[in-house]
């Protein structure tokens, strides 16, 4: 049972309550790296903290603490990792040149529903805490860079030709007794190409607003 003085405590309301909630500290058990997007056997670092308008983490044993006003660019994208569901990636560039990459999967780079949920909360909280003045200066990018997207487009087109186009052509030449086998190949090809298609669709390069996040990249 609450003490008598607790029952009659005046709690902040309106703008004061919003400010108190914005200043609250919150920790996110997400895996991260400071070396940019690359292939890792196992991500070595875990844990970020939003404290008011500051972001803190520890990477390779070194503690970092940055004001959100020091952010220069945020890029949201996703990858398939080694699983079947997309994994969110949030890359944050600071004005001093430091880059932190936050992953929405587990430490081995595979899909994880719990980590994906933590990631979505982190991305929303991060953008909500960025001051308005800083938000007007920060560059917000959704999707991968133009060069990587061009390479992905070529790979997706080749995969579609190989795994879907080839079975479709075979349907016109194989005996009717082999039609079911070719249809099976076509279905398997479509299943293989679907993740790449979603990756291509979600990662098209484009700007976004911090008040209107790209839901396909947040979750």
pLDDT band at residue 23 using 50, 70 and 90 as cut-offs: low
CATH 1.10.1240.10 fits 16-144+205-218, yes or no: no
Structure tokens at 57: 């983490």
Q: Looking at residue 11, what is its pLDDT?
A: 44
**pTM above the 0.75 mark?**
no
Contact 102, 90 (CB under 8 A): yes
Q: Where are the domains of the chain?
A: 16-144+205-218, 148-197
Return the closest-CA partner of residue 116 out of 159, 85, 139: 85
Q: Is the pLDDT of residue 12 over 70?
A: no
pLDDT band at residue 4 using 50, 70 and 90 as cut-offs: very low
Question: Of all residues in the chain, what percent carry a pLDDT higher than 90?
Answer: 46
How far does the chain reach from its first CA to its final CA, in angstroms? 39
Return the closest-CA partner of residue 167 out of 141, 196, 193: 193
Structure tokens at 40: 């890792």
Q: Looking at residue 5, what is its pLDDT?
A: 42
Q: Looking at residue 190, what is its pLDDT?
A: 67
pLDDT band at residue 9 using 50, 70 and 90 as cut-offs: very low
Return the closest-CA partner of residue 103 out of 76, 69, 127: 76
112-137 pLDDT, tens digit per residue, is 999 999 999 999 999 999 999 999 99
Which is it for the CA torsion 43, 73, 99, 70, positive or negative? Answer: negative
């Amino acid at each position: 049972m609450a003490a008598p003085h607790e029952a009659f405590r005046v709690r902040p309301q309106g703008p004061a309550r919003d400010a108190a909630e914005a200043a609250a500290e919150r920790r996110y058990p997400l895996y991260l790296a400071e070396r940019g997007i690359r292939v890792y056997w196992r991500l070595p670092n875990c844990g970020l903290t939003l404290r008011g308008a500051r972001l803190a983490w520890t990477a390779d044993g070194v503690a970092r603490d940055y004001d959100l006003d020091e952010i220069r660019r945020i890029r949201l994208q996703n990858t398939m990792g080694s699983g079947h569901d997309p994994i969110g990636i949030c890359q944050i560039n600071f004005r001093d040149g430091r880059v932190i990459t936050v992953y929405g999967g587990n430490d081995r780079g595979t899909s994880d529903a719990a980590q994906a949920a933590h990631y979505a909360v982190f991305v929303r909280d991060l953008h909500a805490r960025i001051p308005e003045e800083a938000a007007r200066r920060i560059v917000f990018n959704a999707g991968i860079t133009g060069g990587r997207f061009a390479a992905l487009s070529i790979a997706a087109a080749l995969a579609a030709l190989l795994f879907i186009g080839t079975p479709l052509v075979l349907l016109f030449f194989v005996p009717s007794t082999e039609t079911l086998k070719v249809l099976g190949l076509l279905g398997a090809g479509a299943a293989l190409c679907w993740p790449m298609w979603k990756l291509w669709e979600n990662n098209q390069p484009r700007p976004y607003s911090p008040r209107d996040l790209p839901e396909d990249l947040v979750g």
